[in-house]
Structure 1
């Protein structure tokens, strides 16, 4: 499933980042968003974009379009 499909408070494990452009993928990987990493959706902005996620104890704001290209396995 896509990261953008998770609800607030739900967690998942990142499985693929391959749909992202190379530059964006590298920036996210530097911030700790790597395959096999747990990610939690903290909240959505009032209009739904961007969303706040927690990765390795750090909060990151992601555009919904970017979150739609990140594959996760919900748990």
Structure 2
């Protein structure tokens, strides 16, 4: 006996629209919120870098900037 699984197509999720919606459509408030979040995450990354030894992470070191051609 074979089971047929119906596949439904998920609608595309737009992260930009979702971020804007969280701030009531206000682009300035959205950018401010995202920059605040970035500042927080970078602070957490700095704390984790200070608290981890190289042996614990097997040589991995956190980066604060995106690598690539920007």
Query: Which structure is higher in strand share?
Result: 1
Q: Same fold (TM over 0.5)?
A: no
The TM-score, its normalising length taken from structure 2, stands at 0.25
Higher RCO by CA contacts (8 Å cutoff, separation 6 or greater) = 1
Q: Which has the larger radius of gyration?
A: 2
